Amino acid sequence: MTRTRDPKTRAEWQTAVDVAEACLLLESARLYHLLTGGPGVDTGRCEAILEQGRARRIVPTRDGVDRFIATLIGTESHAK
């Protein structure tokens, strides 16, 4: 059984929200056969993180989402 740990600080929440959004975007791309392979995504946990973030007025940032995806695929994002 996997135990989850909720973020504690605002910075941790921002990172978690950005990563959750990125994971959901990647999972959507996989469902539409735009991507193949990679680990599965716990969409329920991602949605819960996004909901808890919204309750704290923390929403995904484009830069944070792009940076996470770039890290996953092994490139650096220089777009602003």
- The pLDDT assigned to 28 comes to 95
Name the average pLDDT for the chain: 89
pLDDT tens digits, one per residue of 51-67? 999 999 999 999 999 99
pLDDT at 2: 56
Q: What is the pLDDT of residue 3?
A: 60
DSSP output for the chain: -PPP----SHHHHHHHHHHHHHHHHHHHHHHTTSS--S----HHHHHHHHHHHHHTT----HHHHHHHHHHHHT------
Residue 73 in 3-state DSSP?
A: helix
Q: What pTM value is reported for the model?
A: 0.84
pLDDT, tens digit, 9 for 90 and up, residues 15-37: 999 999 999 999 999 999 998 88
